[in-house]
Amino acid sequence: MSSRDQTDASPMEGDKTDAKGGDQTGALPPLPSASGGFGDKLGDKFQNIMTFEEFTADEYKMDHLNRGLAIVINNEVFSKELGLGARTGTYQDAVALNERFEDMGFDVQMHENVPVKEMVQILTKAAKDHNYNMNSDCFVCAILTHGEEGYVFGVDAKIETKQLLEPFKGNNCGSLVGKPKIFIIQACQGSQFDEGVAVDVADAKAKPAREVQVYKIPSEADFLIAYSVVPGYFSWRNSTNGSWFIQALSRVLGLHWQDMDLLTIMTRVNKIVAYEFESRTTKEYMNQKKQIPCITSMLTKEVRFKPKKK
């Protein structure tokens, strides 16, 4: 790596028991939301209907007419009030993802320097629009920005990451029930540096169903959230080449999107970021630091991106 490595961070700084002896939870009953959420629930009218074979399969159905929508939100320049530096190098990340997603058959939407309110509007609209384009495999969103643990930044403010996922949950977006919802987050999750640890390595030698039967699945199911770094740590970006995580992801997708499942792809990305990258900066306290991405999976099946027929 060159000496242009940077970080994507903000500045430093009783059990309820079922009387019948059934399942229990160690939490209080949920309180109603004061915010009203993300608009109307999108009921059964838009529900994705699967055959029993599709429901019980070990792979998601990926032979719909369309691959689906891929949204890339690329925030580079931020409001002066936030005190956040420009994310130089992020253009290379956005270009790499755009090319890769197009190769994979996605319809790509690129959004540059987006305020928080608009980020919410873009994703809420995408979830609602999906209900009128149900013949799609999945949904992908990549967010390239500054962040801190649990939050990402629009160009004017920060927002909880989980709020951006809300419109795509099964109880809000019926057409994506049982389909993969993939979020890629390139942002810091804290202000710690990963010093790394030395490892001694020995060189050994240099169809439609006629009847619909209702099954319940969790509304949080079928998400994969790929964070560029584990909670608590800085995420690195090179001002010339782009971020370690996105460039590694683009590389592995380019080689293996047609022959590997998504979790295997993400494991390869983890390996590249962990083994091949180390910070090179003129500031000693930031020099020779490491990074490991963090993949949170609620997938229930394998994701395999089979090529679309031209």
CB atoms within 10 A of CB 17: 11
The catalytically annotated residue of 138, 188, 256, 294 is 188
CA distances for 107 relative to 110, 137, 306, angstroms: 10, 12, 16
Tokens of 8: 């994507």
Give dist(CA 36, CA 21) in Å, integer.
Answer: 34
Are the CB atoms for 287 and 44 separated by under 8 Å?
no
Choose, from 130, 138, 141, 146, the residue flagged as catalytic: 146
Element containing residue 121 per DSSP (H, E): helix 116-130
Computed over its alpha carbons, how large is the radius of gyration of the chain? 21
Give a three-class secondary structure readout of 153-199. ECCCCEEEHHHHHHHHCCCCCHHHCCCCEEEEEECCCCCECECCCCC
Tokens 């949950």 belong to residue: 169
- Residue 146: active-site member: yes
CB 153 within 8 A of CB 84: yes
Q: What does the block give as tokens for 217?
A: 């699945």
Active site residue 138: no
Strand partners, 40: none
Which whole-number Å values give the CA distances from 244 to 26, 37, 70, 95, 284, in the listed order? 39, 34, 21, 14, 20
Residues with catalytic roles: 146, 188
